[in-house]
Structure 1
Amino acid sequence: MELKGIHHVSAITANAKNNYQFYTEILGMRLVKKSVNQDDACMYHLFYADEIGNPGTDLTFFEIVRAGHTYEGNNSISLTSLRVSDDDALVYWKKRLEQYGVDHDEIKQQFGRSILHFRDPEGQRLALVSDQTNNGVKAGVPWAKSPVPTAKGITGLGPVKLTVPDPSPTVKVITDVLGFRYVDSYPSPLVGQPEMEVYETGEGGTGAEVHIEHRTDIPKERPGRGSVHHVAFRVNDEEELAAWHDKVKKARMPNSGLVDRYYFQSLYFREPNGILFELATDGPGFATDEDVEHLGEKLALPPFLEDKRMQIEANLTRLDTNCN
């Protein structure tokens, strides 16, 4: 068995309307599913992705209206990166972020690639990474109706960064249990800090990497709006997910058991530094209950929540996505 790469990253927003405007109108991603948190149906769960929500392209958000400020720190998923086609696309994006007043850094080189760090209005730590030199997991396809030109559009999720006080137990889980391979290391952008270590799975490349940052100079992160809840890795199908479940149990790691998310099947567990991992199947996908042309326009509920639709809708603030 081998994980195929990153499946999705789920984060926290305190304002679904503003979140929707930023990720669709400025970043040009497509809202492929407007649903609710299946474990707490009083909050939105929004899925932004490529043209049809291909696995490996989903950045999702739970709306927690009263979410406070994030105090950045250890034991966290401290960076989510988004893939673009090449270095020229990053030049376009730097100008676009400036045009919309988005907080950003300069384009720089990191691990042999061009990268542009920026923050969304709630402080979500993001980066655009160029696929110019990438040889690995295939990228997605930007939505043709995006306000961003297709050639410059976001094509999927890039590497995620984990910040931990002791990398050894995290590394043991991702290599011995999940089968990631050590690739190389590169200098930390912070003076005096250990090098960042890179691990990959599947075909490797930007869509299948985890970067581990070792920090002993900061406290544990206090999550809130603008923080990441979990990262999910790609599993081919339900049969393989069941085998992964057996492997995680044999490693004596407490886990959720198999969970039906309707659009995919999942397994959740925490690694020793407290970071939540999910393994998720590639299918059946977001077109299961909506036509591809109209993804994300209406509130979509899995069958096991459909009988509660009126109650769920009454507890949600209206979010108009019909122009998606």
Structure 2
Amino acid sequence: MELLGLHHVSILTGKAENNYHFYTKVLGMRLIKKTVNQDNTQSYHLFYGDAKGNPGTELTFFDIPGLGQTYRGVSSISATSLRVKTTESLIFWKNRFEQLEIVHEEMTKRAGRDTLAFQDKEGTHLILVADNGEKGIAPGIPWEPTDIPAEHAIVGLGPAHLTVADSGPTVQVLTNLMGFRHVGSYPSLSGDFPDIQVYATGQGGAGAEVHIEIRPDLLKERIGRGGVHHVAFRVPNEEEYNNWADRLKEYRVPNSGKVDRFYFKALYFREPNGILFELSTDTPGFTSDEPVESLGENLSLPPFLEPQRREIEQNLRPLEI
């Protein structure tokens, strides 16, 4: 029983229209699912990913109009990575960010890989990571109907970056409960702090890593727009999902219990520093209710919400994208 890597990362936005423009027009990702927050059906939930909506490629956003800003700190998923194929791709993106006046840093090494950190318009911290032929979790499929050349397209999620005051409890959960292994470290970019520790699962590589930064000098994060709500990890099928549910019970980890999101089945729990983790199945996937050719074009509702479609649509604000 082994987690395959990252499944998706979910973030908060205060303006879905601007969010859609940035992730599809600036970053060239595909809108693969336009649906609602199943826990609050008056709010949109947008999914962006690769050409076919493969697990391990999705950024998702909960739309909460008027949401306040994020006050960054510890007990947080402080940065989300996106994979590109080569260092040459990073140069392409650096030039594009300069032309479009996107906030970005200089290229630097993280865990031995070339990377380029940047922010979206709501301050979400993002990092492009160059694969450069590295073995590990396979990348996704470029979405080509954009102005981004296929060779430079975003092809999946890279390492999730966690910032905590004390890494010990988080490491215990990653290794003893979730089966991650320590694979290395690299110097902190924030000054005189401990090296950032790298943990991997499954086949490893950028799509299967968690990086932990220790910052005892910071206060706890107050999440708002641009903040990361949770990170989800890939469970291959429902049989192993059931085994993970049993494992959480065995380890007496408080959790959500089994949650059927239709596109995947989920288990939610908080590790000791308060960061929300999710275990999500690869199956049945985002093409279970609409063909790959028309992903994201219409409002999708899972079957258990379909009888309420008229009411849901009446209560949703118009989304002009």
TM-score (normalizing by structure 1) = 0.98
Tell me the CA shift for residue 91 of structure 1.
0.4
Distance 1:152 1:12 in 2: 26
Q: Which residue of 2 aligns with 1:249?
A: 249
Supply the distance in 1 between the matched residues of 2:315 and 2:17 (Cα, whole angstroms): 15
Give the total of aligned pairs: 321
Q: 2:162 maps to what in 1?
A: 162
Residue 292 of structure 1: CA displacement?
Answer: 1.0
The equivalences for 1:94-173 within 5 A come to 94-173=94-173
Deviation at 1:315, TM superposition (A): 2.0
Q: Which runs of 4+ in 1 moved over 3 A?
A: none
Corresponding residue SS for 1:216: coil
AA at the equivalent of 1:73 = G
* CA contact 1:122–1:225 (8 Å) conserved in 2: yes
| Counterpart residue type for residue 147 of structure 2 | P
Percent identical among aligned pairs is 58
Partner residue of 1:222?
222
Contact 1:30 1:146 in 2 (8 A): no
**1:232-262 residue CA offsets vs partner (Å, 9 max, x unmatched):** 0000101100101111111111011111100
**Partner Cα distance (2:301, 2:58) in 1:** 18
User: Shift of the alpha carbon at 1:144?
Assistant: 2.0
Closer, same or farther in 2 for the Cα pair 1:133/1:144, shift >3 Å?
Answer: closer
Secondary structure of 1:43's counterpart equals strand
Structure 1: runs of 5+ lacking an equivalent: none
Partner of 1:92: 92
Give the whole-Å Cα distance in 1 for the aligned partners of 2:66 and 2:308.
23
Task: Kindly state the Cα deviation for residue 133 of structure 1 after the two structures are TM-superposed.
Answer: 4.8
Render the CA deviation track for 1:198-252: whole Å, top value 9, x for unaligned: 0000000000000001110010000000000000000010110010111111111
Counterpart in the other structure of 1:201? 201
**2:287 matched to which residue of 1?**
287
User: How far did residue 113 of structure 1 move?
Assistant: 0.8
8 Å contact kept, 1:113–1:133: no
For 1:237, the aligned partner's letter is N
1:118-170 deviation digits (Å, cap 9, x = unpaired)? 00000000010000152110000111212211110000000010101111000
| Amino acid of the structure 2 residue aligned with 1:256 | S
Cα-to-partner distance string for 1:295-315 (whole Å, 9 max, x where unaligned): 001100001111111221122
| CA deviation vs aligned residue, 1:268-288 (integer Å, no higher than 9, x gap) | 111000000000000111111
Per-residue CA deviation, residues 74-110 of structure 1 (Å, 9 max, x unaligned), is: 0000000000000000000001111111100011112
Tell me what 1:55 maps to: 55
Q: Report the Cα distance in structure 2 between the residues aligned to 1:147 and 1:295, rounded to whole angstroms.
A: 19
Corresponding position: 1:232 with 2:256: no
* Residue 38 of structure 1: aligned partner: 38
Deviation, 1:320, is 4.0
Quick one: which amino acid aligns to residue 64 of structure 2? Answer: I
In the alignment, the residues of structure 1 paired with residue 144 and residue 123 of structure 2 have an alpha-carbon distance, to the nearest angstrom, of: 28
Distance 1:147 1:239 in 2: 41
Contact 2:85 2:133 in 1 (8 A): no
Residues in 2 aligned to 1:196 and 1:140: alpha-carbon distance in whole angstroms: 27
SS of match in other structure, 1:199:
strand
